[in-house]
Amino acid sequence: MSEATPERPGPDLLPILIVPDARLRQKCRAVGPADADVVRALAPRMLATMYKAPGIGLAAPQVGQLLRMCVVDIQKDDVREPLILVNPEITAVSKDLSTREEGCLSLPGQYADVTRPAEVKLRWLDLDGSKQELHADGLLATCLQHELDHLDGVLFVDHISALKRNMLLRKLAKDMKLRQREAM
């Protein structure tokens, strides 16, 4: 005889804002001690939302919270290694650049090559308020820079030519209209 084990529900998923939502263009404020509860509740929901999407990074403004916080997990070799970054700051960047194709959960289906520093040094606070530091390269370096940009209202399309950006934004608007029509 076996008892059915009830499936444990994961954290509630959050709706992801899509361009041109104005909140994606705001500069986020630093997380302070008074935000501790909000940030603690937000982190698991942001991670669950990111994994479900699926994506490798998600910044708080993408779920409508204008706070300097993001989650990242590049899931190398399919292993989950979540980073929760509160008040992250880039402290050094390499002269070497690298170009990678980027996408964004707030611009679904749109991709472009973006050139950024190949390596970055970063510091942030974890959920316990402890200082953390990391020297990142490769995909992780790109992903971290992309997520930190979000905290200043900057999107990956701001790093490409105006011509490419406008093409991509027009295509996004068209895709979203189509999606809306299909949902009706």
Which of 39, 43, 104, 168 binds Ni ion (CB under 5 A)? It is 104
Q: Does the protein bind Ni ion through residue 168 (CB under 5 A)? A: no
**CA separation, residue 86 to residues 70, 102, 124, 157, 168 (Å):** 7, 23, 6, 24, 31
Residue 81, Cβ density class (10 Å: 0-12 exposed, 13-18 middle, ≥19 buried): exposed
Residue placing its CB nearer to Ni ion in the complex, 84 or 104 = 104
Whichever of 71 and 104 has its CB closer to Ni ion, that residue is 104
- Span interacting with Ni ion, options 19-27, 85-93, 101-109, 174-182, rule CB under 5 A: 101-109
Cβ–Cβ < 8 Å for 68, 31: yes
Smallest distance from the beta carbon of 156 to Ni ion, in angstroms? 6
Q: Which two tokens stand for residue 67?
A: 């706070």
Nearer to Ni ion, 63 or 104 (CB): 104
Give 57 or 118: the residue with its C-beta nearer to Ni ion.
57
- Alpha carbons 149 and 141: distance in angstroms, whole number: 12
Determine the interface stretch with Ni ion among 24-32, 42-50, 98-106, 113-121 (rule: CB under 5 A): 98-106
Binding segment for Ni ion among 77-85, 87-95, 97-105, 119-127 (CB under 5 A)? Answer: 97-105
**Least CB distance to Ni ion at residue 146 (A):** 5
Q: Which residues are catalytic?
A: 147
Binding site for Ni ion (CB under 5 A): 104
